[in-house]
Structure 1
């Protein structure tokens, strides 16, 4: 079963899209849905982004040779949750200090990355990353901040995986860390 370029998510007027990679996409999706499901998250799907292989499959991405990261793409209502809040949460729910790894998951497909969709998102992503690096992770953040390229939906069986498979694998690095609010 191979993936294909995603049809653009049906994005209702006034909503925004955010794309992040933080290791195994099953856990990232699960944590975001659980946290923001009633707080502005309208849709979430897992897929592949950041590489140069067209129509990648899960197996090919797992090989580490496609350049793609396992990622989460969400549609959110900015009147209910801000992009900044989604990114601050991103930095709390995984370890952004390990290059190409989250817990036992190793390889470039598990890298930490923010894929911005416009100039405003780029500005916010760089600002939040700089503050997080200074205040929370003390100069150790390796997260990439990159323009969002072509998105490929993961295969259907990966979507909402942990809801369908409650005892399925969840990366042990996906938990919420407690940090003080970021200061300006």
Structure 2
């Protein structure tokens, strides 16, 4: 019509809805058992996410209670507790592979985990600083490096939040999208 060949219906498919609902979305939330992460998981479920990988530190067993809470409010959302070493490139790749192999898609990846250090610089050791850097810089870096290509396999639109409590002096939600 306008000199361009007609595009197929599938080229226009996007799971992103104008009404803000996340029906069928597959999500990853790190730090899911902490207060900010729990709130994010609950909100994603409330908006209709199909599955949420609730990532927490290995040995943290509170993902089960989170799954039970979400089931009461959003019975159609599946919450999967997933032990996750947050600053590990290999574990980030493994998590994304697990999601893609199981669900065939990844729509949302939220990094809401992080660490706070000792209260003063005089109490901070170099080991503390390295640990803080790994948790607060490397984990979001790996998420931002590997999640977008995984998301692009099903749709070119993506949003990649990194979160910290807004009422704290050390940060607030940052959204990077393409």
TM-score (norm 1): 0.30
Q: Which has the higher contact order (CA 8 A, sep 6+)?
A: 1
Kindly name which structure, 1 or 2, has the bigger radius of gyration based on alpha carbons. 2
TM-score (norm 2): 0.30
Q: Which structure dedicates a bigger proportion of its chain to strand?
A: 1
